[in-house]
């Protein structure tokens, strides 16, 4: 009897085990670490923190509400033709953290637009934050710095070819808010972004702070447009060493930061002018810098075409700089002066056309023996830069038209010839041209940019 009971027990346990095995085989195994993919519907709100998420934003209209974070491992994919407007009361900002990606892939016919949520005629600079992309490339800070703007995120590392995604045919309008003094969100802020990232055909218009600010990193870019910026159009710091070709700076005389000075380029090694490495050394070619070209009360804080200071190095070649009221090329520290005019020769200013209404070449806070404005001019002109007596001498077709600018060289313009590509500019990134400035006979801004902002009583 005991033997039969024991056999029955064994049989029952076997059936139970088989039943459990069958249940285990048929039930899905859920991986808590698996990425989730979300696709928004037209009219959706983008808000909060995205962890381990792929967010697809199709063509349509969307709202960016508050500070929106994409954490390490997440990505946002934005389709051509998408328009993302900031919430009016809870101003938006898009933060792509280290290890995350943004793929905003517009086209010339269907650009991606980030803009104010206010109605046309009520929009103004500073209506929302902007876009911040953070990467793992080197900076010249001893510790991983926190990006400005009050978002509380670090950037930088050792991966110089880090890939944070792609921005292509993107407009960023009416951005730029300050979380606190000297800590602003710019139109496009890049912190420690690596050379694996693609940035091409991006316009920042009516930004309340800088249009493009790059802190360290090695990211390269082409076809950038800064229009009607309140502060600086291109700002480099913390050891940035990437390359940029085909850039535009176009100032609106009526828009400038009342508490700061707006420049075409502002460039520092760091905030206190140390010799920390890697040194800030942007390599720039084929830029067109169009200053305000007027001197009135509204434009008093418009400053210099180029402001290189605080121990920075730089390369700026094959470019056109006209219409600047206070200065053209400004060198503002001993180390910066020596890098161009002195013995270190780590900087270049070659094959440019330069005009300013005052102080075309200038030095500031330079104590090097024999340093002078004249020495800077001699160095530039000895490197095939032409100093122009008037902005019109550049013969750019219609450079000061704010609603429909034509920045192509006119017939007989000295910008049509005179470019040279040697040294750093032999890198395969650069497209060799014979012309100076951002344009020859083709307007690559056509179709995807917007300059048609007419200001009414309450805004644009």
Q: Which of 91-100, 295-304, 361-370, 428-437 has the lowest mean pLDDT?
A: 295-304
- Whether 313 and 424 map to the same domain: the answer is yes
Flag whether 241 is in a domain: no
- Whether residue 254 lies inside any domain: the answer is no
What pLDDT, on the 0 to 100 scale, is given for residue 33?
A: 74
**Residue 335 is assigned to a structural domain of this protein:** yes
> Considering 212, 230, 248, which residue would you say is the last residue of a domain?
230
Least confident stretch, 32-41, 189-198, 304-313, 388-397: 32-41
In this prediction, residue 370 carries a pLDDT of 95
Which pLDDT belongs to residue 1? 44
Domain membership of residue 329 (yes or no) is: yes
Domain boundary among 230, 256, 288: 230
For 372, the domain range is: 278-460
Would 133 be classed as within a structural domain? yes
State residue 6 phi and psi, 5-degree precision.
Answer: -65, -40
Judgement on whether residues 98 and 218 belong to the same structural domain of the protein: yes
202 backbone dihedrals φ, ψ, rounded to 5°: -125, 130
In a domain, 295, yes or no: yes
What is the C-alpha separation between 272 and 183, in angstroms, rounded? 16
Domain boundary among 201, 230, 259: 230
Q: In terms of domains, do 170 and 282 share one?
A: no
| pLDDT score of 323 more than 80 | yes
Is residue 210 included in any domain, yes or no?
Answer: yes
Asked if residue 298 has pLDDT above 90, the reply is no
Structural domains of the chain, count: 2
Give the β-pairing of 406-409 and 396-398. antiparallel
The answer to whether the CB of 285 falls within 8 A of the CB of 319 is yes
Q: Give me the sign of the Cα torsion angle 336, 342, 347, 348.
A: positive
226 and 328 inside one domain: no
Domain co-membership, 223 together with 327: no
> Given a cut of 80, is residue 220 above it in pLDDT?
yes
Write out pLDDT tens, residues 238-295.
999 999 999 999 999 999 999 889 999 999 999 999 999 999 999 999 999 999 999 8
Q: Are 222 and 367 contained in the same domain?
A: no
Statement to judge: residues 190 and 295 lie in one domain: no
Report yes or no on 143 lying in a domain.
yes
Q: What's the confidence (pLDDT) of residue 181? A: 63
Average per-residue pLDDT for the chain: 93
231 secondary structure, DSSP code? S
Q: Could you tell me if 314 and 454 lie in one domain?
A: yes
Cα 57 to Cα 344: distance, rounded to the nearest angstrom: 49
Q: Is the pLDDT of residue 100 over 50?
A: yes
pLDDT at 247: 99
**pLDDT band, very low/low/confident/very high, at 184 (cuts 50, 70, 90):** confident
User: Are 223 and 346 within one domain?
Assistant: no
> Is the confidence at residue 24, as pLDDT, over 60?
no
Percent of the chain with pLDDT over 90: 88
Same-domain check for residues 221 and 323:
no
What's the pLDDT score for residue 23?
38
Q: 182 and 287: one domain? A: no
Same domain, 451 and 363: yes
CA 157 to chain centre: 19
């Amino acid at each position: 009897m005991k033997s039969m009971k024991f056999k029955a027990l064994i049989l029952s346990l076997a059936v139970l085990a088989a039943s459990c095995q069958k249940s285990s085989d048929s039930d899905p195994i859920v991986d808590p670490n698996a990425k989730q993919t979300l696709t928004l519907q037209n009219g959706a709100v983008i808000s909060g923190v995205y962890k381990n998420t792929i967010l697809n934003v199709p063509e349509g209209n969307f709202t960016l509400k508050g500070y929106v974070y994409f954490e390490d491992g997440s990505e946002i994919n934005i389709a051509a033709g998408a328009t993302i407007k900031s919430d009016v009361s809870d101003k938006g900002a898009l933060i792509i953290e280290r290890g995350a990606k943004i793929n905003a892939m517009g086209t010339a016919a269907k650009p991606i637009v980030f803009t104010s949520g206010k109605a046309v005629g009520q929009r103004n600079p500073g209506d929302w934050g902007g876009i911040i992309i953070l990467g793992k490339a080197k900076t010249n800070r001893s510790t991983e710095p926190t990006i400005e703007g009050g978002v509380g995120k670090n950037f930088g590392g050792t991966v110089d070819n880090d890939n944070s995604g792609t921005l292509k045919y993107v407009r960023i309008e009416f951005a730029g808010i300050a979380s606190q003094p000297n800590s602003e969100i710019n139109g496009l802020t890049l912190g420690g972004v690596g050379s694996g990232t693609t940035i091409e055909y991006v316009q920042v218009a009516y930004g309340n702070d800088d249009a493009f600010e790059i802190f360290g990193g090695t990211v390269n870019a082409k076809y950038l447009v800064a229009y009607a910026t309140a502060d600086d159009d291109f700002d480099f710091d913390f050891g940035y060493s990437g390359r940029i070709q085909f850039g535009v700076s176009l100032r609106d005389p009526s828009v400038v930061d009342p508490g700061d000075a707006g420049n075409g380029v502002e460039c520092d090694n760091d905030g206190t002018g140390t010799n920390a490495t890697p040194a800030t050394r942007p390599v720039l070619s084929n830029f067109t810098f169009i200053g305000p070209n007027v001197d009135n009360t509204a434009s008093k804080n418009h400053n210099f075409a180029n402001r290189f200071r605080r121990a920075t190095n730089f390369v700026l070649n094959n470019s056109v700089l006209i219409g600047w009221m206070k200065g053209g090329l400004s060198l503002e520290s001993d180390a910066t002066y020596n890098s161009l005019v002195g013995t270190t020769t780590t900087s270049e200013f070659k094959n440019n056309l330069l005009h300013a209404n005052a102080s075309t070449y200038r030095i500031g806070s330079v104590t090097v023996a024999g340093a002078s404005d004249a020495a800077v001019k001699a160095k530039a002109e000895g490197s095939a830069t032409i100093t122009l007596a008037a902005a019109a001498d550049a013969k750019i077709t219609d450079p000061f038209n704010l609603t429909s600018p034509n920045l192509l060289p006119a017939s007989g313009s000295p910008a049509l010839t005179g470019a040279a590509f040697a040294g750093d500019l032999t890198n395969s990134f650069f497209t060799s041209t014979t012309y100076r400035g951002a344009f020859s006979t083709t307007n690559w801004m056509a179709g995807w940019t917007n300059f048609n902002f007419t200001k009414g009583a309450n805004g644009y």
